[in-house]
Amino acid sequence: MNILIADDERDIRNLLKINFEKNGFSVYVASNGLEAFNIIEKEEIDLIILDVMMPVLDGFNFLHKIRDKNILIPVIFLTARDNEIDKILGLRLGADDFLSKPFSIEELIARAESLLRRTYNYSKPQNSNSNIIKYYDLTLDKETCCVFKKGKEIELGAKEYKLLLYFMQSCEKVFTKKQLYKAIWYDDLYYDDNTIMVHISRLRNKIETNPKSPQYLKTIRGIGYKLHYLGDA
């Protein structure tokens, strides 16, 4: 796995690089958000560890930039500011986890490994057919555009299929309504909040055993939605 560490403090970059490499990762480093952005355009990065306060391009603006380009690499924020507003902003922009400075390197590595397992165990193919995506009882075939639950085919409309595909390619990840609208309707300027809610409701009616108590599509109040399996409803 390739990890990108973006932090303006050289000692932190070097310390994290050494420790992640000891744990078998390939590590790229950047001193600001612009350097980090140039790296992800050239290299295949699996996870970004991102400082909030950086020169040239800070962590929040960097994250906005890559999510605006539909780059869905998982991100862990490192921040010296442990307050709820920063975390809400980061989540709205598409962050996956937060860790406040000073932090334990062992905890950061454990969180990175956990996030990588959650992301790539489900979003990467689990067999030789790269067109098949599986998430618990759901199976999606990108070649035939068919969706199955426990082996039984589910009939979805075009937008419902695209929504489910988008979620299954980044399971456990929180998406804002605006991000979903841009990804599925290709428009981020005049998004319709009600349109998203209607299509989420239709998708739940088709993939959930009990749509009023969903197992898969979870609402993150005030932020958006994510595909997160909760077990039997």
The β-bridge relationship of strands 175-176 and 224-227 is antiparallel
The domain total for the chain is 2
Model confidence pLDDT, tens digit, residues 9-64? 999 999 999 999 988 888 999 999 999 999 998 888 999 999 988 889 998 899 98
The answer to whether position 233 is within a domain reads no
117 in the same domain as 26: yes
Cβ(130)–Cβ(137) below 8 Å: no
CA distance 190 to 182: 9
Taking 90 as the threshold, does the pLDDT of residue 114 lie above it?
Answer: no
117 in the same domain as 35: yes
Model confidence pLDDT, tens digit, residues 85-98? 777 777 778 888 88
The pTM of the full predicted model, rounded to 2 decimals, is 0.53
The answer to whether position 163 is within a domain reads yes
109 in the same domain as 140: no
89 in the same domain as 21: yes
Domain span at residue 25?
Answer: 2-123
CA distance 27 to 233: 41
Q: Which helix (H) or strand (E) covers residue 141, if one does?
A: strand 138-141
Cβ(39)–Cβ(82) below 8 Å: no
22 in the same domain as 91: yes
CA distance 199 to 205: 10
Model confidence pLDDT, tens digit, residues 52-81? 888 899 988 999 889 888 788 899 998 876
Task: Give burial (CB, 10 Å; 0-12/13-18/19+) of 18.
Answer: exposed
110 in the same domain as 24: yes
Residue with tokens 């994510």: 226
Domain's final residue, options 123, 141, 170:
123
Q: Would you state the structure tokens that stand for residue 54, as one six-digit string?
A: 């950086």
